[in-house]
Structure 1
Amino acid sequence: MEPREIHAEYLGAMLARDADRFADLFALDGVFEAPLVPPGGAIPRRVAGREEIRKALTDHYRRSTAVLREVNKERSRRILHTTSDPEVFIAELDVVFGSPCDGPDDAAVMSLVQIFRTRQGHITLMRDYFTAEATASSS
């Protein structure tokens, strides 16, 4: 899969809160990191291995009591950057929450940067840079 396809699948899995679909994007030895999440946060800072990623996300979704907010896809922004290394790409996201009818003052925005390293169409390392406050208000 190409970077755009990998990232589209990743976003679909996240929006659907589908831990199986999310984990299947990773290589067997893939690693998920969220370096800005404090130790003991709602999601682990680092999870290694496809099955451990599956378990961590399943547990997170099961524990999460936050109300899911609608993602306004029309107002959200996604930019993918390829690099000189064909196995690495970077995603910039501004995710806007709220219905398309909400005014600018009603919407909440979560900005994040993601770095993906891939091999043969699977994620080997994904670093997701966002603040812990964002997960508390939007997950």
Structure 2
Amino acid sequence: MALTHREIFERHVYAAAISRDPDAYAAMFAEDGVLEAPLVPPGHPLPRRMVGRAAISAGSRAYQRVPAYQGTVNFEQSAYVLHETADPDVFIAEIDTVFEEADGGRTTMSLVKIFRVRDGQIVSLRDYFTPPPSECG
């Protein structure tokens, strides 16, 4: 049975953001899959473009070494919307992640991800996010 776009997205979130497991994350991609993060600044630990599972795993591992953002995710306030496209292999995720700060404030990180999938694997992912200032070093 083929995975739905929602299932692919939820597995992606779990591997990348919750378990922070670079190998599990890379395994979601086709062998020649491409991950692009066009908005990360030059010199950031996450390369702007990675091709293949080994490169995606290595790039993700380098990014995981960056200390996690110090806010706590507020899952009740955070949200996402998935958009289907005319191409059945392409979907778009709009995400608003709300962080509770230690001082009682809140920060929202908004991002967009464009997925192209084939046979339940990610063929390409364009991840449009801007890292928090603490990650830009």
Shorter-chain TM-score tier: 0.7 to 0.9
Aligned pair in 2 of structure 1 residues 32, 134: CA closer, same or farther (>3 Å)? farther
109-118 vs 41-50, which deviates more? 41-50
- Alignment match of 1:20 (pick from 11, 18, 23): 23
SS of aligned partner of 2:91: strand
1:26-65 equivalences under 5 Å are 26-62=29-65, 64-65=66-67
Aligned to 1:91: 93
Aligned pair in 2 of structure 1 residues 21, 135: CA closer, same or farther (>3 Å)? farther
Once the two structures are superposed, residues 99-121 of structure 1 have per-residue CA deviations (whole angstroms, 9 ceiling, x without a partner) of 8xx89x71111000000001100
8 Å CA contact retained: 1:110, 1:134: no
Residue 129 of structure 1: CA displacement?
Answer: 0.5
Aligned to 1:10: 12
Once the two structures are superposed, residues 117-139 of structure 1 have per-residue CA deviations (whole angstroms, 9 ceiling, x without a partner) of 011000010001111336728xx
CA–CA distance in 1 between the matches of 2:46 and 2:132? 12
CA–CA distance in 1 between the matches of 2:111 and 2:81? 11
Aligned to 1:70: 72
Structure 1 gap segments, 5+ residues each: none
Identity of aligned residues (%): 46
Q: TM-score, normalised by structure 2?
A: 0.87
The one-letter amino acid paired with 2:126 is: R
Aligned to 1:82: 84
Q: TM-score, normalised by structure 1?
A: 0.86
Aligned to 1:125: 124
Task: Give the length in aligned residue pairs.
Answer: 133
Root mean square deviation, CA, Å: 2.2
Structure 2 gap segments, 5+ residues each: none
CA–CA distance in 1 between the matches of 2:38 and 2:5? 22
Residue 68 of structure 1: CA displacement?
Answer: 4.4
Residue 56 of structure 1: CA displacement?
Answer: 1.3
Residue 97 of structure 1: CA displacement?
Answer: 1.0
Q: Which runs of 4+ in 1 moved over 4 A?
A: none
